[in-house]
Structure 1
Amino acid sequence: MHQLNSLEKRAALVLALVFSSRMLGLFMLLPVFALYGTELNGFSPLWIGLAIGAYGLTQAILQIPLGWLSDRIGRRPVMLAGLALFALGSVVAALADSVYLVTLGRVLQGAGAIAGAILAFAADVTREEQRPKVMAIIGASIGLSFAAAMVLGPLLAKWAGLSGVFWFTAVLACCAMLVVAFLLPQSVHKAPMAETLALPQSLGAMLKHRQLLQLDAGVLLLHLMLTAIFVVLPSLLQQYALASTQHWQFYLPLLLGSFVLMIPMMIIAMRKAQEKGFFLLAIALLVSAMLVICVVPGFWPLTVALLLFFTGFNFLEASLPALVSRIAPAGQRGSAMGIYSSSQFFGAFLGGVLGGAVLQQFGYQALFAVLAVIGLIWLAVASTLIIPLRVQRLSLAVSLQSTQQAEQLAADLTVLAGVQEVTLVLAEQRCYLKVSSAQFDTAQAQAVIAAAGA
């Protein structure tokens, strides 16, 4: 966190804690529900899949609207309300004796869709040049919460049962509410909305942007595959004589190994400018994993396949949002990331439905065969993706009175060295730039802006 000031450090750590505690509660169900859900009334593989993925549906639907709401009534009230909904859903699921009520609880958990409000708050209290670091800290907390959930979920379920897992998530949500109420710093200003939240007028353009649509579809398929796998994986491990109390011992080294393999991929991809090659390799790892599980039964082939899967998954989970941020037009990153996040959660919902339906009708090998085909289709589509050069995004204040002034300023800025895109928003009195940091001179741009407003 070098160069972050005390406010930014505090905001980054507190928001990461809130984000990760909530995601931990969601993720902990993945490794245990297929095992312990069999004790619920109405159990079936389809309903297991629906319960696992149900939170993704309400997350996908409410992610953008709650972000807009936070811009009108404040980030903190939306975060508190969202966490309260998450706690309520956890209590409903903890008290449930049927898979239907558990699914309702999961729907309520997902209704607390506060990711947009959290990221917008992070933008509000950070300086432009330090914002990527704060976002990276929050993003890293999600990966850590997933790894922790794979270990804590099986241990907690064995000790307290499925209801214990939900009670624990309710406690986490209440603790997060206390953190938001008492530890979250007061917002000192509001960041430009276009770069942090989805704007209604920008959504249509984002849905027509071919490269962004490829990335949105990619994250949808990635989380579809992840959720579908966990509909069957816990039961599969039990079939291979691995007791539920030992599942954490299986997941922990697997996830650590995947991180060890993923890090060199990230380093080489960035330093050697081979991002597209490694992006396609990561998707190929997912496909290979599905094919191995489908064709070669046995505990050790499953272990190797999952190591390949999580290596590819971790690489793509880190790469996809970074690519969305780079490809999104200047001044429209909030809209691009809003659609991306909704796609991510909708993929989790579809994965639960698909996993449960195929498992119930055709068995686990058919499910992994279907996932392999989906991965191959994604690989073919991703081969046409154009990876842009790395850019810096800037937001500068302007003072303009008319559309004509804005058009002239945009033209003047476009000809400056290093400027790739210019977007002027009169309503915000902001200028959004995508620039090549090696060529761009900020002082020169500020001089042009000052002259335009004179």
Structure 2
Amino acid sequence: MQHLTALERRTAISLALVFAFRMLGLFMLIPVFAIYGKDLVGFSPLWIGLAIGAYGLTQAILQIPMGWLSDRWGRHQVMLLGLTLFAVGSVVSALADSVYMVTFGRVLQGMGAISGAVLALAADLTREEQRPKVMAVIGMTIGLSFAVAMVAGPLIAEAAGLAGIFWFTAVLAVTGVLIVTFLVPKAVNQARDSEALAKPGFLIDLFKHRQLLQLNAGVLILHLLLTAIFVVLPQQLIDLHLESPQHWQVYLPVLVAAFVLMVPLMILAMRRQQEKSYFLFAIGLLIVSLLLMINGQQLSWTIAGLLLFFVGFNYLEASMPALVSRIAPAGQKGTAMGIYASAQFFGAFLGGVIGGSIAGYYGLVMVFAVAAGIGLLWLIIARTMQVPARAQRLSFAVMVPNDQTARHYAELLSQLDGVQEATVVVAEQRCYLKVAHGAFNLQQAQDLLATGVVPAANV
């Protein structure tokens, strides 16, 4: 079994830190803005939602283009640009005396959409067989950043106010710049790997892919629900006589307990091979949790609802990227994940708008009721979802002169035992395969590419 090299470990740790500092800065506003933003000019429930979710709009729009830009300008340059925009947005928000300027600052923060460049650099610096490990380390920082933000946000806001959070976020951004400059390794060559990077030629087909469309809609709804409830949840906790400095005493045990309870669900789903059933169960937990939080008269009901919400949220947040990876056609995983990430951030924006609008016109409780209705709609949509069999993804270099030859090889490869999908990309001189575990013979594929003849046993 191969292990990460020193370069790969340095890549994983340094890029994970960049990701973590950026996401921490974005998330810390979520549990406090509805409370500490009341002194800002123009404060209203709608603008609470816009300020909380504004970063999601620019993230969604720029997520894939910034990744492509890193192909032209270089990964480090785009990462430094993004972190600089993030720092500028933080300073604008810290100096703001109106909710409008805070929202503008959040839009600037979102323009630092460096996720694509970070993942692309990870692909540049790692061996293909070790890349999933490095990507997993980077991906884990999102959940960890959210948990830390839920605890740190109220504590920093109590000590230094809303501006203190944004100044702290600016410091995190500058720290990220230093990490990119001095710690993140520089790539000599850029990986041309469609499984890791988004490619423009695949966009239209993947937008129309039914199963991927269901998952993209799902992650949009998931983050819509998260952002919408945090437009009103902090105020609900205060109405239940739990002051803002004490909110971390709810968030911390709830998030820890939710993670502990989520792990057995993941294990059972895989062991019993009932991933779809547990997926639907997790959506059901979201709906039940939102219905519990409608009862805003008792703190125990709100805490119970929040616990169930994050059990379902954590399960879905962990399982959906894996499903996208499995469903994405061979050679198109990078683009599929880019679209998925854009939907995720756009959901955060929509959640802020919807949550703020409903709270402003109909009150706090109605936000939970509408969110439960949206969750029910998701449950209905998800019932038609198909979970594909687990597959291994392989890629290796080939020599193909033109598209006609590439299509010919892809057709021959698809006839081999265990091959679910085959794609040969001329521009990359690479072959991508999705194969069934234990049913594929790599040597046969290599012989075919060398001779252009399908083995007799497969004719």
User: Normalising by the residue count of structure 1, what TM-score does the alignment of the two structures yield?
Assistant: 0.98
2:154 pairs with 1:154 = yes
Q: CA separation in 1, counterparts of 2:296 and 2:226?
A: 20
2:445 pairs with 1:445 = yes
Q: CA separation in 2, counterparts of 1:235 and 1:365?
A: 11
**Deviations along 1:2-32, whole A, 9 cap, x unmatched?**
7112111111111111001100000000011
Deviation at 1:365, TM superposition (A): 1.4
User: What value does the CA root-mean-square deviation take over the aligned residues?
Assistant: 1.3
Aligned twin of 1:431: 431
Aligned twin of 1:189: 189
Aligned residue type for 2:268 = I
Deviation at 1:402, TM superposition (A): 2.7
Aligned twin of 1:319: 319
Deviation at 1:442, TM superposition (A): 2.0
Query: Is 2:76–2:186's contact at 8 Å kept on the other side of the alignment?
Result: no
Indicate the SS of the match to 1:194: coil
Aligned residue type for 1:10 = R
Aligned twin of 1:63: 63
Deviation at 1:358, TM superposition (A): 0.1
Deviation at 1:412, TM superposition (A): 2.1
Q: CA separation in 1, counterparts of 2:188 and 2:271?
A: 37
Aligned twin of 1:289: 289
Query: Is 1:288–1:305's contact at 8 Å kept on the other side of the alignment?
Result: yes
Q: CA separation in 2, counterparts of 1:424 and 1:297?
A: 60
Indicate the SS of the match to 1:315: helix
Q: CA separation in 2, counterparts of 1:320 and 1:376?
A: 18
Deviation at 1:128, TM superposition (A): 1.3
Q: CA separation in 1, counterparts of 2:177 and 2:37?
A: 29
Deviation at 1:296, TM superposition (A): 6.2
2:94 pairs with 1:89 = no
2:365 pairs with 1:338 = no
**Deviations along 1:124-175, whole A, 9 cap, x unmatched?**
1111111111111111111111000011100000001000000000000000
**Deviations along 1:313-351, whole A, 9 cap, x unmatched?**
000000111110110000111111111010000000000
| Gaps in structure 2 of 5+ consecutive residues | 454-459
Q: Kindly report structure 1 stretches of 4+ aligned residues shifted beyond 4 Å.
A: none
Indicate the SS of the match to 1:8: helix
Aligned residue type for 2:426 = L
**Deviations along 1:281-324, whole A, 9 cap, x unmatched?**
10000000111112463100000000000000000000111110
2:25 pairs with 1:25 = yes
Deviation at 1:76, TM superposition (A): 0.7
Query: Is 2:240–2:297's contact at 8 Å kept on the other side of the alignment?
Result: no
Q: 1:127-166 alignment to 2 at 5 Å?
A: 127-166=127-166
Q: CA separation in 1, counterparts of 2:110 and 2:116?
A: 13
Indicate the SS of the match to 2:422: strand
Aligned residue type for 2:283 = I
Q: CA separation in 2, counterparts of 1:320 and 1:118?
A: 20
Q: Which moved more, 1:379-388 or 1:266-275?
A: 266-275
Indicate the SS of the match to 1:113: coil
Q: 1:203-214 alignment to 2 at 5 Å?
A: 203-214=203-214
Q: Which moved more, 1:428-437 or 1:316-325?
A: 428-437
Q: Which moved more, 1:117-126 or 1:168-177?
A: 117-126
Aligned twin of 2:175: 175
Aligned twin of 1:268: 268
Deviation at 1:250, TM superposition (A): 1.0
**Deviations along 1:184-206, whole A, 9 cap, x unmatched?**
11214322342222222211001
Aligned twin of 1:123: 123
Query: Is 2:291–2:369's contact at 8 Å kept on the other side of the alignment?
Result: yes
Q: CA separation in 2, counterparts of 1:40 and 1:305?
A: 30
User: Normalising by the residue count of structure 2, what TM-score does the alignment of the two structures yield?
Assistant: 0.97
Q: Which moved more, 1:429-438 or 1:95-104?
A: 429-438
Aligned twin of 1:389: 389
Q: CA separation in 1, counterparts of 2:125 and 2:450?
A: 25
Q: CA separation in 1, counterparts of 2:129 and 2:297?
A: 50
**Deviations along 1:363-399, whole A, 9 cap, x unmatched?**
1111111001100000010011000111111111111
Q: 1:39-78 alignment to 2 at 5 Å?
A: 39-78=39-78
Query: Is 1:400–1:452's contact at 8 Å kept on the other side of the alignment?
Result: no
Indicate the SS of the match to 1:285: helix
Q: CA separation in 1, counterparts of 2:404 and 2:369?
A: 58
Q: Which moved more, 1:406-415 or 1:134-143?
A: 406-415
| Gaps in structure 1 of 5+ consecutive residues | none
Aligned twin of 1:105: 105
Q: CA separation in 2, counterparts of 1:374 and 1:275?
A: 22
Aligned twin of 1:233: 233
**Deviations along 1:199-241, whole A, 9 cap, x unmatched?**
2221100111000000000000000000001101111111111
Q: Which moved more, 1:389-398 or 1:184-193?
A: 184-193
**Deviations along 1:434-454, whole A, 9 cap, x unmatched?**
11131112232122222249x
Q: CA separation in 2, counterparts of 1:108 and 1:23?
A: 14
Aligned twin of 1:367: 367
Indicate the SS of the match to 2:51: helix
Q: Which moved more, 1:215-224 or 1:122-131?
A: 122-131
Deviation at 1:409, TM superposition (A): 1.4
The alpha-carbon distance between structure 1 residues 74 and 246, as it changes in their structure 2 partners (threshold 3 A), is same
Indicate the SS of the match to 2:194: helix
Aligned twin of 2:218: 218
Query: Is 1:405–1:452's contact at 8 Å kept on the other side of the alignment?
Result: no
Q: CA separation in 2, counterparts of 1:32 and 1:291?
A: 23
**Deviations along 1:100-135, whole A, 9 cap, x unmatched?**
000000000000000011111111111111111111
Deviation at 1:354, TM superposition (A): 0.4
Indicate the SS of the match to 1:433: strand
